[in-house]
Amino acid sequence: MSPEAPWADLVTLAERELELALDGRWEETMEASTRRLEASLALGTPPAAARPHLERLLELQQQITAGLTVARAHTARQLGDMNRGRTAMRGYGSALGTAQRADLGRA
């Protein structure tokens, strides 16, 4: 096994993690991220021959982070829309309840 092989393995793990993130498979993305972190913690200082793998890891990490940032913003926007929808429904419900009470008073 070459000295840079473990770093090449990290690239493979990061590529899988990116694939999962792009597919929106968040639980699997988290598991892949944990596996990659654990594998990286088991390694020591990388040899000079691992430089291309480290550069590729940096690229992949930037893509993963960008994908997660976009997904987080999308989720936050959806939650905000849901909250506004609930507020509107409460408003309609209050108006309906007031109108029904007014109708009961006329009977």
Would you list the DSSP string of 54-70?
HHHHHHHHHHHHHHHHH
| Across 26-34, average pLDDT | 96
- Whether 26 has a pLDDT exceeding 80, the answer reads yes
What is the extent of the structural domain holding 30?
Answer: 5-106
CATH number of the domain enclosing 29: 1.20.58.380
Burial bucket for residue 71 (CB in 10 Å: 0-12, 13-18, 19+): middle
Q: Is the pTM of this model over 0.85?
A: no
- Whether 86 has a pLDDT exceeding 70, the answer reads no
Q: Which is more confident, 107 or 4?
A: 4
